[in-house]
């Protein structure tokens, strides 16, 4: 592990930024879930994206949930370190992976959940390779 410890001010700033980004991307995913309803799809942005290209909707859904995972994971890691002074382990990351997988499965079904988990595992691999 690195001996470079961030200052408390930097941890708080980073946590605020990641909470904001997590919220924005989760709200985007919830909006797409709500707009995918058969009652609204013709007049919603999902309907417009479907008329342009059917795959664009899937890309936005997967991207929003993957980015939610990334920012929520960074938030959890920062909060754990900021509150306890102990660096996070893999347990927190695996729990967040399961939570985002469950959310994506519940909102969009197994195909979007599988793609979201695949891209999220790419971020987990990045974290693993980034360790010292």
Quote the distance between the C-alpha of residue 80 and its chain's center.
18
pLDDT for the residue 24: 96
- Give residue-wise pLDDT tens across range 12-61: 898 999 999 999 999 999 998 988 877 777 788 888 888 898 899 899 99
pTM: 0.87
């Amino acid at each position: 592990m690195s001996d470079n410890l961030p200052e408390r001010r930097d941890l708080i700033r980073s946590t605020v930024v990641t909470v904001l980004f997590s919220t924005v991307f989760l709200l985007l995913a919830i909006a797409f879930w709500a707009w995918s309803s058969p009652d609204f799809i013709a007049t919603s942005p999902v309907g417009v994206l479907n008329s342009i290209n059917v795959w664009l909707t899937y890309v936005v859904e997967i991207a929003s949930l993957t980015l939610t995972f990334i920012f929520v994971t960074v938030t959890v890691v920062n909060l754990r370190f900021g509150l306890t002074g102990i660096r996070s382990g893999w347990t927190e990351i695996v729990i967040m992976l399961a939570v985002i997988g469950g959310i994506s499965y519940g909102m969009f079904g197994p195909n979007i959940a599988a793609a979201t988990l695949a891209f999220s595992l790419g971020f987990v691999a990045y974290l693993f390779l980034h360790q010292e």
